[in-house]
Amino acid sequence: MIKRKGEMQIRTVEGVRGGNGSVQFLDLLTPEESLGKLRVAAETTLEKGCSIGRHPHGPDAELYIITQGKAVVDDNGEVSTVTAGDIIYTGGGAFHAIANEEDEPVKLFALVIN
C-alpha cells in the first residue's frame, strides 16, 4: 500500500492526556489499515508550551521517535531532555509525558502498539 500525504488526516487536539495547549497529529495509518496492530500511528507536532500529559501504557505500549527539536520527557518518573534521533519506549504499566519548552517545534512519530 502506498498512502499519499494528501490522503492522511490532520487532527489538532487540545489538552492531550491533560497536557497543555494543542497537539497536531498527522495520522499515518488508521487502526484498520494496520490490521489492528497500531492504535495510533502519527507524526506529532508540539509547538512551544505544548505537551502530552503523563499517562500509563499497559497492556499496550508506545514508541516516540523524535525527529526534530528538543523536548523534556518524564519517563516513568525520570525527567530527561531528548533531541532528534532519540526514542522513548513506554510499556508494561510504565508512564510518560512530553513537553516542548523551546521555540522550535518538536516533531515525533508516535506509535501505540496493541
Regions of the chain short of the pLDDT cut 50 = none
pTM here is 0.95
pLDDT at 91: 97
Parent domain of 72 = 7-113
Q: What was the pLDDT predicted at 13?
A: 98
The pLDDT, as a whole number, for residue 111 is 98
Domain assignment present for residue 52? The answer is: yes
CA distance 99 to 35: 31
Q: What is the CATH number of the domain that holds 69?
A: 2.60.120.10
Buried b (16+ CB within 10 A) or exposed e, 58-91: eeeebbbbbeebbbbbbbeeeeeebeeebebbbb
pLDDT tens string 4-35: 999 999 999 999 999 999 999 999 999 999 99
Rounded CA-CA distance 18/68 in Å is 23
| Sheet arrangement for strand 95-99 | 51-56, 95-99, 70-75, 78-83
Residue 101's pLDDT is 98
Q: Is residue 1 included in any domain, yes or no?
A: no
Residue 16 three-state SS: helix
Q: How many separate domains does the chain show?
A: 1
